[in-house]
Amino acid sequence: MPKEPGRKNPRGDFLAIDTTNILFICGGAFSGLERIINRRMDAASIGFGAQMKKELDDHEVQGKYFDNAIPKDLIEFGMIPEFVGRFPVIESTKGLEIKDLIDILTVPKNSLMKQYHVLFSKDNVKFHYTTCALEEIAKVAFIRGSGAWGL
């Protein structure tokens, strides 16, 4: 039964939904989350067991931090606890390497290189590229940190 407008939905009615059998999946870059995890994991210490702070701009280091994310980190990042509580598993992915980016350019059925080939052929233009060209395109995307979107 529709409820009255409230603080979270001031414009109108909303319906209550039973979410017990709904799987919530949340994805994104979560820029800055690695700093929250870093603060939690690398608390200041002294002595022989002290750990040096790692450079957070390194993709490999960032990936290792994201592997250690816990619900508390997501809440501190800004997600509401009721939403974070719906995630039974927190899993992180690794950044794409240059080889992965080249595969994205060439392997899929509708890859960018195949699309360009079709587009140029409509104007009777032969589209040709070299392995070196693909590597350079992938390197630029990798250096920019834009992943597959940068291709």
Confidence of residue 65 (pLDDT cuts 50, 70, 90): confident
**pLDDT attached to residue 94:** 79
Q: Is the pLDDT of residue 22 over 80?
A: yes
98-150 is classed CATH 3.40.50.1970: no
Q: Is the pLDDT of residue 57 over 70?
A: no
Q: Delimit the domains of the chain by residue range.
A: 1-94, 98-150
CB 107 within 8 A of CB 82: no
HEC states along 82-97? HHHCCCCCCCCCCCCC
Cα 141 from chain centre: 15
To 5 degrees, how large is the angle CA 59–CA 80–CA 84?
65
To 5 degrees, how large is the angle CA 7–CA 11–CA 16?
65
Q: Give domain 1-94's CATH superfamily.
A: P-loop containing nucleotide triphosphate hydrolases (3.40.50.300)
- Mean pLDDT, all residues of the chain: 83
Q: Is the pLDDT of residue 5 over 70?
A: no
Q: For tokens 């619900």, what's the residue? A: 71
Specify which of 13-22, 46-55, 140-149 reaches the highest per-range mean pLDDT. Answer: 140-149
